[in-house]
Amino acid sequence: MSSAALVPCTVCGAGLPAPQISFGKQPPSNRFMSDSASAAQLESHALSLSTCTHCCTIQLFDRMPIEAYRPRYDWLVYNEPEGHLDDVASHLAALPGISTSSRFMGITYKDQSTLTRMANMGFADTLCLQDSDLECTVAPFGLETVQAVLSSPVNVNRLVARFGQADVLLVRHITEHSLSSSRLLTSLSALVSSGGYMMLELPDSQRVFDVGNYPFIWEEHISYFTEVTARRLAQEVNAEVVWLGRYAYPYEDSLNVVLRFPAASAGKRSTTSQVGVQKQATHFFGHFRTARDQWRTRLQDIRAKGNQVAVFGAGHLAAKFINFFELKDLITCVIDDHPQKVGMYMPGSGLPIVPSTQLQELGIRYCVSTLSPESEIKVRGKLAHFFDNGGCFMPAFSTI
């Protein structure tokens, strides 16, 4: 997308100011290739961030075309943390007017685990929409296509005619993928019965900005919400926030927001205070080069001592970590035991993806971990020999 074009805010629709930080041209993070040369020569698109001066939502300014990052492989699935969902289910069960005869509906596979919890609590009327229900003409596809389909009132009305409405509609981890989060939620509100509820789950980006975890910025997340901007989004779609729960995780907290759509407009929208947001954004935008230089210096020092370095985890975080900080010349390979990823090459860097069984063979002593803390605990349990022989994991991201 050209920076000269008017780019509308995903929340309030206002035109965004010029980008405050640019990550240069980046390839899609999900484009694993079968040979190194192709992986290194992938089509790339500008990736940059801006802050809306009206609603203060930080979001992508330069956005890749959906066709560029639509998945090429049907085995790519993104898993979200779920340790908080028992508590969320309890809150949903206690919403005013909700009983065991109420209907719960999810819009993607990410909602099924919550629906299962509701069913286990005695809520028998549950339904999760399937990919086939969306009648997409492309395959495979991911949330980038789902959000586009569900942002169309025509498509949602078709789903209402087929499946009816929900007393509680679950919308987990898709709003941030939408090119217009307000249009998506307004369209989806047709699936909510009169007096019913919509529950959003959003990754809270507050810590990402506070500690400078730059690789969490990627082409598939268009908007980066905090509690302040999540509440502003509710205002923009004329909804009231019935309940908001924040659940702590090491890198990104989970924001669970229950909305209700009154028959009348929610009224005049309040003005979001820009002071804290601008201070946070200025710090985040201004320290990128420092973070990049620090990582290069750290890895150069390790390599100067004759040690090999790998990145552990071949996901989008690893791709952005390597490409944003320009580290490919200092990294031997990327470690991942996913059977479909092994033998392929990372987008942009062209680094090979190899299984953890080759750590010793390749003489790798240092691994930069892009794994979630939960996943890293499991991996450490399987790699006792690596650590017993002096192996070291370095966290790619900060938690404080």
| Band of pLDDT at residue 3, cut at 50, 70 and 90 | very low
Report which of 312, 355, 309, 358 is spatially closest to residue 329, judged by C-alpha positions. 309
pLDDT higher than threshold 70 for residue 13: yes
Q: What is the rounded distance in angstroms from the CA atom of residue 175 to the CA atom of residue 144? A: 10
Does the model's pTM come out above 0.75?
yes
Buried b (16+ CB within 10 A) or exposed e, 242-263: bbebebebbbbbbbbbbbbbee
| Residue range 64-68: mean pLDDT, rounded | 96
CATH second-level architecture of 305-395? 3-Layer(aba) Sandwich (3.40)
The tokens for 43 are 């089509």
Strands 192-204 and 253-260 come out as: antiparallel
CATH homologous superfamily of 1-286 equals Vaccinia Virus protein VP39 (3.40.50.150)
Residue 1 has pLDDT above 60, yes or no: no
**pLDDT in the model for residue 374:** 85
How do strand 58-60 and strand 104-106 relate by DSSP bridges? unpaired
pLDDT at 2: 44
CA distance 104 to 192: 10
> pLDDT class for 97, splitting at 50, 70, 90?
very high
Q: If you average pLDDT over residues 133-143, what whole number do you get?
A: 94
Q: Which of 48, 74, 61, 233 is nearest to 141 (CA)?
A: 74
Tens-digit pLDDT profile for residues 303-312: 999 999 999 9
CB atoms within 10 A of CB 351: 24
pLDDT for the residue 79: 84
Per-residue pLDDT for 7 more than 60?
Answer: yes
Contact of 230 with 175, CB cutoff 8 Å:
no
pLDDT in tens, 202-261: 999 999 999 999 999 999 999 999 999 999 999 999 999 999 999 999 999 999 999 999
**The domains spanning 1-286 and 305-395 adopt the same CATH topology:** yes
Question: 296 and 327 in contact (C-beta within 8 Å)?
Answer: yes
pLDDT band at 106 (very low <50, low <70, confident <90, very high): very high
For residue range 355-364, list pLDDT tens digits in order.
Answer: 999 999 999 9
Supply the DSSP string of 168-233, one letter for each residue.
EEEEES-GGG-S-HHHHHHHHGGGEEEEEEEEEEEEE-HHHHHHT-GGG--TT--EE--HHHHHHH
> Confidence band (pLDDT; 50, 70, 90) for 281?
confident
* Torsion sign (Cα): 381, 32, 346, 36: positive
Residue-range domain boundaries for the chain:
1-286, 305-395
With CA atoms as reference, report the closest residue to 247 among 87, 57, 91. Answer: 87
Tell me: pLDDT of 369 over 70: yes
**Phi and psi dihedrals of 367, rounded to 5?**
-125, 130
Whole-number pLDDT of residue 268: 53
Mean pLDDT in the chain? 94
DSSP 8-class letter at 251: S
Tens digits of residue pLDDT in 150-196: 999 999 999 999 999 999 999 999 999 999 999 999 999 999 999 99
Distance CA 77, CA 91 (A): 27
